[in-house]
Amino acid sequence: MSQSNGDRPYRCAVLSVVKHAYVPHAVAAHPRFELTVVTDDPHAPDWVHERNQEFADEYGIPYIRDVERAIRQHDAQVAVVSSEAERHCDLSVRAANQGLHVIQDKPMSGSVEQCDRVVEACETNGVKFMLWNRNFLPAIIHANEIIKSGQIGELHAIHVDFYFAKDSGPPKGSRGPDDPPINWLERQIEAHADGSDGGVGQAPMGELEIEGVYPLAYIHLLAGAAIERVYARTTAHFHQANVDNDVDDLATVTLEMQGGVVGSLCIGRIGAASHPDIGEIKIHVLGSEGGLVLSESRPEVEVYYRGQPPAEFRRRRVANDNDYLLMQNFADALEGDGPTILDARAGRDICAVVEAAVRSGKSGRPEIVS
Amino acid sequence: MLRIAALGTETETSPLITSAGRMTGVECERIPLDRDPKGFDAVVCCGLQGDGVETICEQAHGGKHLLIDLAVLETIADVGAVVDACRDANVQLIIAQPSRHFPAVQTVRQSLDASELGAPGLLRIHRWTADADERFGQLLLREIDLANYLLDGLPTTVYAVARQAGGIPDLLQVHLGFNGGAMALIDITVRLPEGDDYYSLSLIGARGAAYADDHHNTQLLYRGGSAVAERTGENVAQWTELLQQYARAIEDSSLEAIGVDSALAALRVTTAVGRAIELGTAMHWQGEEYEPV
């Protein structure tokens, strides 16, 4: 369903904003969109209400503890969903059923069934959906141009290394004999201060589930071939919270794709000491006529100075228009009837790959992607 | 003076001869496969074609000490034949893997040994070459051996996928799991267009990480149009340490075969890789051999 809004910006309701708020900030920064209200369910816990209120105050917009009423009262056209991960799909479905287009934070869900509900709701109601991603980073755009131009011929293989050099609480092995296991949600709430709360929610999630969407979205864009079967190895190698909650912080996945394309993914939250910046993130592509080796972080500028805080990145990404281009893509989809760069069905398929990989990590066998 | 005959092509033997040239007490010369290495004390087999193992065994029977590049061996039976021949002839045997001694690999190994990286968690290798003549099995064997070397043991699980073009394999991806949760992903192709090859090895440990990547070691050349990336090479002296070890072993007359267990381990894994591709399933180590899950 295309929709012209004339010169007026689209009115956006923020449906819960409990993480570091990069998604609603990016929406607000684009001239075609404006945030009009923050909303959540009345029974949400206090810490959720506090964060929602704080964000609403930052933008000088109301916070309403009733999602459906907020949407009606503010005549919202777009929902921006940035809740705890296990509520993502439910909020998206409720928004779609009220006729709102949806921008949803990652991960789409830990459950393919939940994603299927979103696909159905979006298709039934004729609304657009975009799962937040990094496919408009300069290096990804560049890679896509090279591949699509045919310079390396027919695609044979694609490999993505996606290491986040961040810590996530106490290191593995640090728990004393009388210490209780780390509570996942409490750890994630605490992690809000340093922005490492990507897995915020009641249900523990491994790196594959939290961040896997980014590299798999690269593969979706660059290879354009469905992933049919996976084989994975997973482990909790770095962080006590992951050990205590039996979720991975390091994983490798072999991807068997449509048309005989071979792929792989290495992903991990490998600790701040393991890289001077956010992490080694690389893409390797092999084609019938050549290969491409690409660093996802470039272009960047190195900055060093006396007294530099140890945690500050020495290399700063530059010319990064990812947020703007995602929102422009969403606006174009609203007005031009085309799909978004990562729509509900693509997001659902990525969730299915992650689910199969987690299953394979436990079974020790290759698993079919549903 | 230890006089060494080098068997193999010029490409295969030139790193060895370069390394020998930097040592005292060693002379090294490449000789054709069909020439009797009379007058030499020892033979280094850098590469052999066809009846390779028979040629190696003949050298042993002729009383020559042997230093063999692991990649020359294709099967576990090959290892047994060479070990038997050397034992019967009372000559020294070393099965070596020159790739272990590349400066970048040694830097990673030293960093592990110094506990800088902590327990290894993930080894990632990309090995792309334009050398379609090089046997896939040789490349695979080298990288598998490196995985065993850097992750300290034999993998407990092996999975692999391959691509073929016109019935010839052009791409191989191997996925290994080790005791303690460590893992390795290795992809190999021999179908790059003629020109430079590409190599990348990353090791992620519990306390740190090491990245040895050709991508980081390229320089830019401007001659109009797009810049050309030129790699600054690691001057090849990987054989020096091996030759020193070899010379010491001969001098000591211990005659204890060196490198046999590593060779057997690597060959067991490459055999499992073949089975995993054939069966489309993961193979698990069962104490004696790998079995499908």
Residues of chain B with CATH 3.40.50.720: 2-99+238-257
Q: H/E element holding A47?
A: helix A46-59
pLDDT digits (tens, 9 = 90+) for A147-163: 999 999 999 999 999 99
- By Cβ distance, the residue of B175, B182, B207 closest to A254 is B175
Mean pLDDT, chain A, integer: 95
Residues with Cβ within 8 Å of A356's Cβ and at least 6 positions away in sequence, in order, are A229, A230, A367, A368, A369, A370
What ipTM is given for this predicted complex? 0.94
Could you give the CA distance from residue A347 to residue A132 in angstroms, rounded to a whole number?
9
CB B10 within 8 A of CB B30: yes
Pick B36 or A328 by higher pLDDT: A328
Of B207, B280, B284, the CB nearest to A273: B207
CATH number of B2-99+238-257: 3.40.50.720
Q: What is the pLDDT of residue B48?
A: 65
**How far, CA to CA in Å, does A363 sit from each of A232, A307, A356, B145, B293?**
9, 49, 10, 26, 10
Cβ of B209 under 8 Å from any chain A Cβ?
A: yes
- CATH classification number, A10-131, choose in 3.40.50.20, 2.102.10.10, 3.40.50.720, 1.10.10.10: 3.40.50.720
Name the band, by pLDDT with cuts 50, 70 and 90, for residue A91.
very high
Q: Is the Cβ pair A233, B281 closer than 8 Å?
A: no
State the Cα–Cα distance between residues A69 and A204, nearest whole angstrom. 31
**Is the minimum CB–CB distance between B282 and chain A shorter than 8 Å?**
yes
Determine, for residues B183 and A156 on separate chains, whether the beta-carbon distance falls below 8 Å.
Answer: no
As its CATH architecture, domain A138-320+343-368 has 2-Layer Sandwich (3.30)
- Rounded CA-CA distance A93/A81 in Å is 11
Average pLDDT over residues A94-111: 97
- Put simply, whether A264 touches B (Cβ < 8 Å) is yes
Which pLDDT score, from 0 to 100, does residue B168 have? 74
CA distance B102 to chain A (A): 22
Q: Hey, are the CB atoms on B187 and A159 less than 8 Å from each other?
A: yes
Say yes or no for a CB contact (<8 Å) between A233 and B177: yes
User: Topology of domain B103-234+269-292, per CATH?
Assistant: Dihydrodipicolinate Reductase; domain 2 (3.30.360)
A–B CB contacts, 8 A cutoff, strictly below = 122
Q: Which of B108, B123, B151, B175 to mutate: most A Cβ within 10 Å?
A: B175
Domain locations along chain A: 10-131, 138-320+343-368
Residue B215 contacts A where some CB pair is shorter than 8 Å: yes
- Give the mean model confidence (pLDDT) for residues A10-34: 96
Contact of A254 with chain B, judged by CB distance below 8 Å, is answered with yes
Residue numbers in chain B where pLDDT is lower than 50: none
Which tens digit of pLDDT belongs to each residue from A103-136? Answer: 999 999 999 999 999 999 999 999 999 999 999 9
pLDDT band at A75 (very low <50, low <70, confident <90, very high): very high
Residue A273 and residue B189: Cβ atoms within 8 Å?
no
Position B235 scores a pLDDT of 66
DSSP state of B180: G
